[in-house]
Amino acid sequence: MLSDTPMAERVRLAEQFRGFRRQIAEKVTAESFRLHPDWAARYGDRGRSRGIEDAIYHQDFLCAAIETGNPKVFGDYLRWAAGVLEARGIAPGFLHENVEQISRDLQSRVSSSLALEVAGFIRSARDSALTIVADVPESVGNVQRLSGIRELYVQAILRGQRQAAVSLAVETVRQGHSLPDVYADILQESMYEIGRRWQSNCISVAQEHMATAITQHVIAHLYPLIPPAPSQKGRMVITGVEGEMHQVGPNIVADMLESTGWDVRFLGVNTPAASVLQAVEEHQADVIGISATMAFNLPHVRRLIADTRAIAGRNVRVILGGGAFRATPEIYKELGAVGVALDVRSALELAARL
């Protein structure tokens, strides 16, 4: 089974598949248009181009899952993608048909024994995608107590009301709520809600981008409210890997870790690996925090960790964070990190153990 295969071999297999993903994408898209003759008139050349892009995207997530050895990584993506399509009037069956086409093509390119493993891996992913996952109930405590403020905040950022969003966050701190509570229970939870609304086609891409931009604006206004830490715990660099476009999460974590005494250099996201390594050396960092939201960015995480080890040695500890690790948190051990955090509170707990 792929899950029992050493990581180096899984990586080689994933890289092999990535080498002909464009070829597969073009082939399966052409096949889909043959199976559905009406698509040519309905979607035209633009539809073919989008079909190729989507097939490449599917393979990116599949290859990332193969690297982890965990089919649930791909299964979670399939469940998410099916929800996005269904909310936009596209039957999820077309997605599964496309994945089956990709699976058959991949199997034809490897040995018979490996083909069986690949087929079983994809089948397990599809089975996990069909599993109904119950919504996580709202926890007691501050999340529940701040739910009213959070609802007002979501309304403000979706209406483009930057000043109202800033005032809500700042006034909540001035009324006695801690900055970690505001960051975690208002900002973080609101961005989760924005993501859910985009997935269900309740808001547009423009609204999602606007809400994110306003939240970054709010974070900038909250930063001056961070009190000086009583002591210094060490030096840290926090970044998102190349290709990573989600900045709010690591920005929140960087601010909160600074509030607890870490000397943090936050590099933003989509940062070239060479620049990250330069920052680690210049800052003489004890820890590097690497963020990835999308599973297809896991290869960038793996390579950045390897480059860090080659240049800085094992004196620099690595911590990981972001949605890319949600389905497979234990992968941090194989990657050579000391831990993984999936939200701001777990990041604070992980850093405290360092």
pLDDT digits (tens, 9 = 90+) for 199-250: 999 999 999 999 999 999 999 999 999 988 888 899 999 999 999 999 999 9
pLDDT at residue 133 tops 60:
no
Q: Would you say residue 71 has pLDDT above 90? A: yes
Q: b/e for 118-139, b at 16 or more Cβ within 10 A?
A: beebbebbbebbeeeeeeeeee
Please give the pLDDT value at position 132.
Answer: 57
For residues 338-353, give the mean pLDDT. Answer: 94
| Domains present along the chain, CATH in parentheses | 2-129 (1.10.490), 142-225 (1.10.1240.10), 234-353 (3.40.50.280)
pLDDT at residue number 138? 44
Confidence at 314, pLDDT banded by 50, 70, 90: low
Residue whose tokens read 């039957």: 91
Mean pLDDT score of the chain, rounded to an integer?
Answer: 93
- Is the pTM higher than 0.95? The answer reads no
Mean pLDDT lowest for which of 30-34, 211-215, 224-228, 319-323? Answer: 224-228
The C-alpha angle with vertex 93 and arms to 89 and 98, in degrees rounded to 5, equals: 110
Burial status of residue 226 (CB atoms within 10 A of its CB: 0-12, 13-18, 19 or more): middle
What pLDDT is attached to residue 4?
86
